[in-house]
């Protein structure tokens, strides 16, 4: 009986943990991608403002 209990407990929790980890990884990837894109965009914008002779962007 205890063997069946623990096997059922493990088989019940594993799919949930996999979904949670997958969701966490997807959100982490999206947030890191957004952060990188913003950093690149700010760098390009600063270069273009410098070429145009405009003052740096105040943030």
What pLDDT does 2 receive? 66
Neighbouring residues of 33: CB distance < 8 A, sequence distance ≥ 6: none
For residue 55, how far is the Cα from the chain centroid? 33
What pLDDT does 30 receive? 98
Write out pLDDT tens, residues 8-59: 999 999 999 999 999 999 999 999 999 999 999 999 999 999 999 999 887 6
Top pLDDT among 3 and 34 is at 34
Rounded to whole angstroms, how far apart are CA atoms 41 and 45?
Answer: 6
What pLDDT does 3 receive? 79
């Amino acid at each position: 009986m205890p063997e069946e209990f623990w096997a059922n407990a493990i088989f019940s929790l594993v799919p949930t943990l996999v979904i949670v980890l997958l969701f966490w990884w997807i959100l982490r990837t999206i947030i890191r991608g957004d952060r990188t894109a913003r950093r690149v965009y700010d760098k390009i914008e600063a270069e273009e403002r410098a070429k145009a002779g405009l003052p740096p962007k105040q943030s």
